[in-house]
Structure 1
Amino acid sequence: MKELTERYNSDLFQYLDASPTAFHAVEELASMLSARGFIELHETEPWKLLKGKRYFVTRENCSLISFILGNEDKPSDGFRIIGSHADSPGLQLKPKSMVINDPYLQLGVEIYGGPLLNTWFDRDLSLAGRVSCSDGQGNLVEHLINFQRPLLSIPSLAIHLDREANEGRAIDKQKALPPVFAQTLDVNIPEFNQIIMAQIQQQNPGSVAEKVLAFDLFCYDPQKATYLGINDEFIASGRLDNLLSCHVAATAMANCNGKHNNFFICTNHEENGSTSTTGAQGSFAQDILSRIIPEPESQQISIRNSFFISIDNAHASHPNFKETAEPDHCTVLNGGPAIKINANQRYATNSRSAAVFKLLAQKADIEVQEFVMPTGKPCGSTIGPMTAAKLGVQTIDIGVPTFAMHSIREMTGASDPYKLLRVIQTFVDSPHMQKSK
């Protein structure tokens, strides 16, 4: 199992390093699925779907659905559905980004989602995202860019100038977060849009883009994914939440036996509420299911025969803060995937869906853990409950235990991604589905 784990982690590391934003993450998934024989569809065109074929479709370059019409299944037999999200908390540039604070140039940023802001200080940061341009003929041209190299930094105020810095000082988000970008002394700095255009031309020689109209650009830490620990027992990387889950799901889809109906949705905007055309509260999943099964009653039968696994990282019990974990539900790194449970349905797990997942894990010979928050403490949520509510599909929330969730650099167990893959692979290849009544 060690060799298989290391081989999978190598692929995972490449995916993490190539995916600084949700746009890049979805582009990488699309390339991966295309290379494995999945046929790309477009929502703006009619479809002719064939039994036994594999398909994928993207929406706005930042969400993706792939599906397989199994050789041995009818659509009414239901789908094995997997869900995850491609976005991560961070800092997004404001439209008018350049801030002159002589003798320095800085970039104005807005907070995306709920990052651990203190981890963003004194890091070597880069920029990546999507840019929309005109071609000079009134046509829209879009490009993904990634500067890759360290480009920015948000310097801390020295402790000599802030003696209470270690005493829980709050971060003034407007004042403290703009990263330093350049120095203006005796340097001819081009306009920011010119810098973006130069990067487009460098990455896309011959591009017809002539003028930047708008962009979705994010700061990120370009440090590569790596092993940690004396025995390489841990993984450290940016955006483990939730690109790890995306890669596991796509890998399982790509490797599946093709006998059964499978459906994978990778959404955007989970970190800030999922309310968008590409988020889990949008229509994407329902739209695609309606095109696969146009007849309403047949679609409802299929959904009630389906099962949805929502995959999003779980909290690992922190050794320095054991009081933050429920004593009888401690989750540990390298202990296998965790079933996420909340009485108020912040997670969609119930006894039936938990039992189904435990049977899958037993079949895959993988141990599972159970995560609940201590009583009275607020609980985060996932795309699980909102998808369950919109589709009416039986759902479970699970994830790989993680330290420092929403930090610029997170940490998980080195064996856990492959353990999760083993269970999800069993799910998509399973000849038996749990029937709802």
Structure 2
Amino acid sequence: MTEPARFDRGHTDDLMTFLAASPSPYHAVATAAERLEKAGFRQVAETDAWDGTSGGKYVLRGGAIIAWYVPEGAAPHTPFRIVGAHTDSPNLRVKPLPDSGAHGWRQVAVEIYGGPLLNSWLDRDLGIAGRLTLRDGSTRLVNVDRPLLRVPQLAIHLDRSVTADGLKLDKQRHMQPVWGLGNDVRDGDLIAFLEETAGIPAGEVTGWDLMTHSVEPPAYLGRDRELLAGPRMDNLLSVHAGTAALAAVASGASKPASIPVLAAFDHEENGSQSDTGADGPLLGNVLERSVFARGGSFEDRARAFAGTVCLSSDTGHAVHPNYAERHDPTHHPRVNGGPILKVNVNNRYATDGSGRAEFAAACERADVPFQSFVSNNSMPCGTTIGPITAARHGIRTVDIGVAILSMHSARELCGADDPFLLANALAAFLEG
């Protein structure tokens, strides 16, 4: 039986607001937490003892958030339904000694995070955002959302072969942005500027996790505004959809059959091996503590995990009109065609036949079309948090997402309908 659609184009409008408010993983989880708070969720500290009361709760750790909703009367062995996603995107991140420069230019020393399309960061107005750590151990978010930095491309007059041979970029020499003029490069200038911007007393910042972002806002594109261009859709599009779906299910009239969960991790783009990544213990710890807080035993934990299903939601590749030969000839996902089911028999994705059936049932209930994606056999396949989640926690996992173009660019492109189609499918899954 199909359910009435919860989300429409207004969800995509809201996605644009979410993307603009989330220039770093730390901002993304803060924005998600704020939205969950409005839906009645409350934050719990990992250092506190947890109670077994019903309702919505969430844990924040760095750039990760785990949120869950316990229905009234849920048994300790009640299984979970998890939407998994990640908060990080490839970009340029500030080094420990950020102040540099040469030949009268002041520059910021950056390191390449993940696997960005480097050319997409050239000649683009960049801001800087992230997390500052103070002497007392507290943290403050900072976001300079105006043109502050720029990675200038070499003029064609000085590289006549670039058109024929292609652009060749050295990550160390060619990707350092400029942000001013001056021959006297002083250690501490960037951090002093950010302290002033954030209203922090001078000298109080002793640690930082900072990154660049494009300051160009998300925008509808095309004659009929049927496309959406914007930054960090890989994978804040899924974080936003998962947050909206969880809030809708928690505030809905019907009680979900399982315990719905949103698990948004950091560091997917470089392997997930951190205390806030999918390959860390965070999700397992939260789920286990939820079982034990409701009076459960290890047996209840085992029963709950055995019945748990996770949808690992991440962006995937839409068929590219200029490079169709790079795709599998019989699988051509299209934008605005609905979410994609990702399959790879070598377990780069975690989907199997039973997982396909699970996702198909959720899409049917939500009256949402879906598509299938596999890689061209001659090309390597990417991966997600799906196989990691399945192997680490022993829970059934299905890899899905939204088909986009320009993945890992500073500015990506998707269909304007796909974000709300995904959100409707996720809500139906969490409620089922």
TM-score of the two chains, using structure 2 as the length reference: 0.94
> Which residue of structure 1 aligns with residue 209 of structure 2?
216
Structure 2 Cα separation of the partners of residues 244 and 15 of structure 1: 9
Task: For 1:345-364, list aligned pairs within 5 A.
Answer: 345-364=347-366
Partner of 2:263, secondary structure, is strand
Structure 1 Cα separation of the partners of residues 7 and 223 of structure 2: 20
Task: For 1:256-335, list aligned pairs within 5 A.
Answer: 256=249, 257=252, 259-260=255-256, 261-294=259-292, 295-335=297-337
CA contact (8 A) 2:7 2:424 kept: no
Deviation at 1:184?
A: 1.0
> Which residue of structure 2 aligns with residue 68 of structure 1?
69
* Pairing 1:44–2:40 present: no
Task: For 1:13-412, list aligned pairs within 5 A.
Answer: 13-51=16-54, 53-60=55-62, 62-71=63-72, 73-134=74-135, 139-166=136-163, 167-184=165-182, 191-201=189-199, 207=200, 210-256=203-249, 257=252, 259-260=255-256, 261-294=259-292, 295-412=297-414
Partner of 2:158, secondary structure, is coil
CA contact (8 A) 1:303 1:392 kept: yes
Q: Any gaps of 5 or more consecutive residues in structure 1?
A: 202-206, 431-437
> Which residue of structure 2 aligns with residue 433 of structure 1?
none
Deviation at 1:186?
A: 10
Deviation at 1:5?
A: 2.3
> Which residue of structure 1 aligns with residue 427 of structure 2?
425
Structure 2 Cα separation of the partners of residues 316 and 215 of structure 1: 36
2:142 corresponds to which letter in structure 1?
A: I
Indicate the larger mover: 257-266 or 152-161.
257-266
Root-mean-square deviation (CA, aligned residues, Å) is 1.9
2:59 corresponds to which letter in structure 1?
A: V
CA contact (8 A) 1:313 1:402 kept: yes
CA contact (8 A) 1:73 1:259 kept: no
1:12 corresponds to which letter in structure 2?
A: L
Deviation at 1:3?
A: 11
2:170 corresponds to which letter in structure 1?
A: D
Partner of 1:232, secondary structure, is coil
Q: Any gaps of 5 or more consecutive residues in structure 2?
A: none
Deviation at 1:147?
A: 0.6
Deviation at 1:36?
A: 1.1
Q: Deviations over 1:82-112 (max 9, x none)?
A: 1000000000011101112131101111000
2:429 corresponds to which letter in structure 1?
A: F
2:131 corresponds to which letter in structure 1?
A: R
Runs of 4+ in 1 over 3 A off after TM superposition: 1-4, 185-190, 207-210
1:116 corresponds to which letter in structure 2?
A: L
2:40 corresponds to which letter in structure 1?
A: G
CA contact (8 A) 1:70 1:262 kept: no
Structure 2 Cα separation of the partners of residues 242 and 114 of structure 1: 14
CA contact (8 A) 1:130 1:143 kept: yes
Deviation at 1:366?
A: 1.1
2:229 corresponds to which letter in structure 1?
A: A
Partner of 1:44, secondary structure, is coil
Structure 1 Cα separation of the partners of residues 42 and 127 of structure 2: 33
CA contact (8 A) 1:267 1:280 kept: yes
Partner of 1:9, secondary structure, is helix
Structure 1 Cα separation of the partners of residues 262 and 6 of structure 2: 27
Deviation at 1:208?
A: 6.2
Q: Deviations over 1:16-51 (max 9, x none)?
A: 000000000011011111111001100011111213
Q: Deviations over 1:351-400 (max 9, x none)?
A: 00001111111111111100000113111110010001111111100000
CA contact (8 A) 2:234 2:314 kept: yes
CA contact (8 A) 1:277 1:283 kept: yes
Structure 1 Cα separation of the partners of residues 49 and 383 of structure 2: 36
Structure 2 Cα separation of the partners of residues 97 and 187 of structure 1: 10
Deviation at 1:209?
A: 7.1
Partner of 1:198, secondary structure, is helix
Structure 1 Cα separation of the partners of residues 49 and 24 of structure 2: 30
Structure 2 Cα separation of the partners of residues 187 and 85 of structure 1: 36
Aligned residues: 419
Structure 1 Cα separation of the partners of residues 151 and 117 of structure 2: 14
1:280 corresponds to which letter in structure 2?
A: A
CA contact (8 A) 1:99 1:106 kept: yes
Distance verdict in 2 for CA 1:41–1:208, change over 3 Å: farther
Structure 1 Cα separation of the partners of residues 198 and 414 of structure 2: 34
Partner of 1:178, secondary structure, is coil
Structure 2 Cα separation of the partners of residues 129 and 228 of structure 1: 28
Identity %: 38
